Amino acid sequence: MPPSFWQAALDKMLKRVDQTGPQLKGAFPHYAQPTGEWVTTPDGDWTGGFWPGMCWLAAKATGGARYRRWALEWAERLRPRATSDTAFRGFLFYYGAVPGALLHYDATAREIALEGARHWAKAYNPNAGCFPLGAAAEEASDVGQGEASIDTVQGAALLVWAAQTAGEPAWKNLAVFHARRHIEFCVRADGSVCQSASFDPTTGALKRRYTHKGVSHESTWARAQAWAILGYALMHQWTGEKDFLDVAQKTADWWIAHVPPNRVAYWDFDAPVTPDTEHDSSATAITAAALLKVAAAQKDEQKRKEYRAAAEATVRALGEGYLDARGVLDRGCYSKRINLATRNELIWGSYYLFEALCVLAGQLEANKL
């Protein structure tokens, strides 16, 4: 695609950021109604980091002081969540504050991100070799000290960054153990992904695998597959460990082989396909951003081109078919199981498409964040 396509799509999404900022009244955007009005959460739920993350990226792409001001304001609102008993602190503080430290050298953002990492590190279970979901984990059917989810591998990157930034090498080790344990928990032999697992908190023994948001416990929920590609791509990016890149490639290859011809996944890869079956633009956007990272990590030029081409084709499909004139990425499927926001704009989908467009438009290096 010509660079003008990526920039034009990015400009659309910047307009959506411009529209969203003044609309928010102290609550975090979660998902949007068809009118464009945001359904918000007072504390950010598990998605609170994505809005300030978009603002940090907008500030990087445009140099606009207003975006940086918004980003810092909303990052500050995340501070109380540092002590929440949820593994999704990784999402909150990696996207809510780390971009401010990495892209803008903002000391307050660095402090906020480290605060989130420091408290989350205390939740590690050495018997299980991972961070449990925690009693306050959002978006899970089973929570507590004996539950795990592939969604949390992405968050381990927060701890690796924090380990380097704060001079706490033990945090990196915890993150590596956590990511490796989730290969056992959630990644199947063929490269497909099971969302969740239960384990014995005392012995760490795996008790069961299940997919609580998919068609069935054995299905491949699209967002679980996407989180795996992203999580292991990020962990390789931050640690250089080859096994993480191997998993990122294996799960990416499975996605590429099984995604529909239009490149946009159905909400579950095992969902019966009819004209009414929901796609999930948010899972697809996560994968697009992840594929750019997988491509950037390749030493082999041919592989790099192949993953980059897959990423570009995915972003193009979203940009042409799912991104409307308002800059709204529509037809994200939040939770088909409970029929919640099944054809809506979802803040995380918007974030990841925005990130991918920043990369493709030359405003961000794929392996910077």
- Torsion angle, CA of 40/41/42/43, rounded to 10 degrees? -140
DSSP summary character for residue 340: B
The reply to whether 367 falls in a domain is no
Count the domains in the chain: 1
The reply to whether 18 falls in a domain is yes
| Tokens at 280, concatenated | 């999930």
SS3 104: helix
Domain limits at 112? 3-360
The rounded distance, in Å, linking the Cα atoms of 101 and 95 is 11
User: Which DSSP helix (H) or strand (E) runs through 208?
Assistant: strand 206-210
Give 229-295 as a 3 state SS string: HHHHHHHHHHHCCHHHHHHHHHHHHHHHHHCCCCCCCECECCCCCCCCCCECHHHHHHHHHHHHHHH
Position 165: which residue type?
T
At residue 142, the pLDDT reads 82
Of 171, 146, 142, 145, nearest to 159 by C-alpha is 171
The reply to whether 138 falls in a domain is yes
The rounded distance, in Å, linking the Cα atoms of 70 and 144 is 33
Place of tokens 């969302």: 195
At residue 99, the pLDDT reads 98
The reply to whether 366 falls in a domain is no
The reply to whether 365 falls in a domain is no
- Could you report the per-residue pLDDT of 14-63, keeping only the tens digit for each? 999 999 999 999 999 999 999 999 999 999 999 999 999 999 999 999 99
For the chain, the C-alpha Rg in angstroms (whole number) is: 19
- Could you report the per-residue pLDDT of 93-148, keeping only the tens digit for each? 999 999 999 999 999 999 999 999 999 999 999 999 999 999 999 877 788 999 99
What b-and-e string marks burial along 235-271, b requiring 16 or more CB atoms within 10 Å of the CB? bbbbbeeeebbebbbbbbbbbbebbeeebbbbbbbbb
What is the DSSP track for 117-149?
A: HHHHHTT-BTTTTB---BTT-SS-SS-BTTEEE
At residue 152, the pLDDT reads 97
Give 165-176 as a 3 state SS string: HHCCHHHHHHHH
| Phi, psi (degrees; rounded to nearest 5) at 197 | -150, 150
| Phi, psi (degrees; rounded to nearest 5) at 133 | -60, -35
At residue 334, the pLDDT reads 97
At residue 139, the pLDDT reads 73
CATH number assigned to the domain comprising residue 104? 1.50.10.10
The rounded distance, in Å, linking the Cα atoms of 290 and 213 is 21
Question: What count of residues does the chain have?
Answer: 369
The reply to whether 368 falls in a domain is no
Q: For the whole model, what pTM was predicted?
A: 0.98
At residue 279, the pLDDT reads 98
Of 52, 119, 109, 49, nearest to 86 by C-alpha is 119
Residues in the chain where the model's pLDDT stays below 70: none
